[in-house]
Amino acid sequence: MKLKLTFIILFFFLGSLVQAKSYELQLYPFGLLSRYQDTVDQQRNFMQYAHYAVQLVYEDWVTGLEYNKSMPSKTGNASLNVDTTQQEFNLIAGYRVYSYQMNLGFNIKPDFNLNAIGLLGGANTTVETTLLGQRDKEVSKTNFIIGAGLQTSLRVSYFICALEGRLVSSREYSPSLTFVGLSKLGVAFSF
Amino acid sequence: MNFIKKSMLFFSASVALLNLASCSAIFESEAVSGDIQVKIPVSNKSSDNSTYNEEVVTLKNIESLKEVRGSYAQFYYSPGLNENRLSGISPLAFFIQTAKNIFVPKDMTSLQMSALYYHIQNLTDFSRSVGLLDQKQTKPFEIALNTKVKNKDVVQANNAFYDGRSDAMIFVPYTTEELPIAVNEGIVAHEFFHSIFYKIVFSDLKKNPQSLTQRWSLDTVHGYEKLWKSQLEETVSGTEVVPISDIAKTPKKTTVELYNETLLRGINEGLADFWGWIYTNDSDFLKWSLSEHSLTRTLKKQTIQTYVSVKSILNVVTEAQQLSSQPEEYLSDFIYRVGTPYARFLKELVEIKTKNNSSASENKIQISEKLKEYLVNLSQLSKSLEKNEIISAESLFLFFGGSEDRGVPLDECELVSKYLNSQDSAQKIYECHKDEATSSYWIQKI
């Protein structure tokens, strides 16, 4: 609950900033996040999440919110199965360390940016166990997430795509410190 | 600030933060030990309307929840067998922790590990309390999950068995749509009993080089759908498929040897089913996972109370020797026909006692304590067998039918008499004798 409240306050704070000058608002409705996770046989597999984000850029500073939801993971059979979904909210802050504008002619000038980012957030997991047709749902405590990484973005007109590599840590993860890869696609507006 | 300076500053701060965060996270996840509350499917243990529900239970003496390892059990994943020991990795278990500090398994393997640990814990405590397990024995029970057992080039599925050589409970992959075997507490109790039978009856036979029974399949592992006649072979790799050795390598047994082996296997299966009922109170505990076997193995009271006689066993054994090059495998279904009447008899005995006076759980304890005596007697009898001497198929009934110096109530004696006289409807062979001094009874041949 506290975590959700923090995000709501932050959202209004970001909204108030938009009213100022020379900002860029980036909306990412399509994103795919992958991170390593331990499996039962002591191997590691990539776990995939749907990723949604909103970012605000002011001069060289970047801030934003993101929501990640794991693809449903179902194990078991018709009589007994376990359905696990993990979700996380993250607050992002970053700094543009490199920027380059290309000129391809025909008034097309793609913007390439490299941002160093840090993130702080919370994650929880919902486990739904179905036993002989009866469902039982449990939600975990919210565990903190902390991480840092690099974000590259390429903006052409209103369209923007980004790639990220992160190192994140949370008690929710196994291993608790893990690598995350992220690709996303969206739109950007300048003010 | 130029690019390099900015980047260096940022990454130094990030690495320091991540270091702190990861260390704390690792310590927290490994610190889960002691008595842990988990939510798993358990039977409601109702005799009339048994079912499974999700319930919070306590796993005791957990050393690492990550591997669900503790003083009661430890797990292996797809192991091999190396020098009579399971070898391979421990499976990793994943849980969520709720606000009430209850751990909920995040996947089926974690759920099965938790359920197995819980049942092994209860069965161990119960077996110790009735003297069937040594109090001093503290070694955790070894359990193999997802074991690849190959028989005739086919990887086996939907089975569980106890392997005497490695003293481990083995689960092969479960592929049907019923309740997985590892969660079926009746089947877990059944397999657990095989370990008790092995330790009390079979291991002593193995130690006795003079015994005629040394050629018996003492390490036989007991499966539900098929008997694994031979032993798991040794493999070096923990992840390789474990093959079943060639049955033809075993020297051919005489009819008497095969009879004794079949009877012992039957008694083992019957008592194991009784143990499944003791633990679950469910007469049809098989129906949840292996429904096709449930009808023939039900422990519900039958209209005709009978057992498989010596003569019938000898006939089937002779047939097996004539028709099959692998008679032990041929007999793998028959042993359940031999065993089930013993299980039904013992269950009825508990019910008669309960009808008379004390609680069902007290009577289960009482019968279990007597069962220990019976197993010790059976072990001694098996060790001292002369050549061509057979074990009586009535031994269990006679043991519970009382004796001159240890009488039983009339209704218990009558139950024994009913079973023993079931072979010949025209002639009564056994009857109950009364001890006038104590008003108790014992069964005696007329």
Dist. CA B159–CA B141, nearest whole Å: 18
Tokens of B433: 């004798």
The reported pLDDT for the residue numbered B328 is 87
What number is the average pLDDT over the span A31-50?
A: 89
Contact criterion met (CB below 8 Å) for B40 and B54:
yes
Q: Which two tokens stand for residue B281?
A: 């109170």
The residues, ordered by sequence, that sit 6+ positions from A170 with a Cβ below 8 Å of its Cβ are A123, A143, A144, A145, A146, A176, B21, B25
- pLDDT bracket for residue B383 (50, 70, 90): confident
Question: Chain B contacts of A131, Cβ < 8 Å?
Answer: 41, 52-54
pLDDT-derived band at B3 (thresholds 50, 70, 90) equals low
The answer to whether B404 and B373 have CB atoms below 8 angstroms apart is no
How many Å apart are CA B167 and CA B75, to the nearest integer? 13
- The DSSP bridge pattern shows strands B69-70 and B149-151 to be unpaired
Closest CA to A88 of A119, A66, A73: A66
Quote the CA–CA distance of B294 and B297 in Å, as a whole number. Answer: 5
Q: What is the pLDDT of residue B285?
A: 94
B82's enclosing H/E stretch is strand B80-82
Radius of gyration of chain B (CA): 25
Mean pLDDT of chain B: 83
Q: Which amino acid is at B137?
A: Q
Give the helix/strand (H/E) hosting B41. strand B34-43
Mark yes or no for CB contact B108/A76 under 8 Å.
yes
pLDDT over 80 at A21, yes or no: no
Angstrom distance (rounded) from CA B269 to CA B256: 20
Per DSSP, the three-state class of A68 is strand
How much is the mean pLDDT over chain A?
Answer: 88
Q: Which pLDDT value is given to residue B81? A: 80
Unique residue bearing structure tokens 């039900």: B298
Question: What tens digit of pLDDT does each residue of A144-174 get?
Answer: 999 999 999 999 989 999 999 999 999 889 8
Please write the tens of the pLDDT for every residue from B185-240. Answer: 999 999 999 999 999 998 766 655 444 333 344 444 444 333 333 334 433 333 44
Q: Do A82 and B105 touch (CB under 8 A)?
A: yes
Strands B149-151 and B242-243 come out as: parallel
pLDDT digits (tens, 9 = 90+) for B71-108: 999 999 999 888 788 888 999 999 999 999 999 999 99
CA atoms within 13 A on the CB side of B37: 9
Question: Can you tell me the mean pLDDT for B300-319?
Answer: 90
Q: Which amino acid is at B242?
A: V
Q: Which of B21, B98, B107 sits opposite A138 (nearest CB)?
A: B98
Pick from B7, B52, B77: CB nearest A132: B52
Helix (H) or strand (E) holding A12: helix A2-18
DSSP alpha helices (H): ranges in B255-333?
255-280, 291-297, 310-323, 327-330
Residue B286 to residue B302: CA distance in whole angstroms: 17
Single out the residue of A141, A32, A80, A152 nearest to residue B97, CA to CA: A141
Say if strands A44-58 and A134-139 run parallel, antiparallel, or are unpaired. Answer: unpaired
In Å, how far are A85, A141, B191 from A125, measured between CA atoms? 6, 8, 35
Q: Which two tokens stand for residue A162?
A: 């980004």
Which residues from A are below 8 Å from B286, CB to CB?
Answer: none
What ipTM was estimated for this complex? Answer: 0.84
pTM attached to this predicted model: 0.87
Percent with pLDDT over 70 in chain B: 82
The letter for the amino acid at B390 is I
Alpha helices in B161-224 (DSSP H): 185-197, 203-207
The secondary structure element, H or E, covering residue B160 is strand B160-163
A vs B: CB pairs below 8 A: 144
Pick from B6, B39, B108: which is nearest to A75 by CB?
A: B108
CB nearest to B107's CB, from A82, A124, A170: A82
Q: CB B22 to CB A169 under 8 A?
A: yes
Residue A173: burial class (beta carbons within 10 Å; 0-12, 13-18, 19+): buried
- Is the Cβ–Cβ distance between B384 and B410 less than 8 Å? no
d(CA A3, CA A144): 10
Nearest chain A Cα to B239, which residue? A41
Task: Tell me what pLDDT residue B43 has.
Answer: 94
Q: What's the first-to-final CA gap in chain A, in angstroms? A: 33
User: Residue A164: in which H helix or E strand, if any?
Assistant: strand A159-170
pLDDT for res A14: 53
Q: Which among A136-140, B7-11, B136-140, B205-209 has the top mean pLDDT?
A: A136-140
Residues 43-62 of B with CB under 8 A from A: 51-54
Return d(Cα A166, Cα A152) in angstroms, integer.
12
E strand or H helix at A7: helix A2-18
**A60 C-beta neighbours (distance < 10 Å), count:** 14
Instruction: Express each pLDDT in B318-372 by its tens digit.
Output: 999 999 988 988 998 999 999 999 999 999 999 999 987 778 889 999 999 999 9
Helix axes B360-383, B334-356, angle to 10 degrees: 140
Phi and psi torsions of B126, nearest 5°: -65, -45
Residue B289 backbone dihedrals phi, psi, to 5 degrees: -125, -30
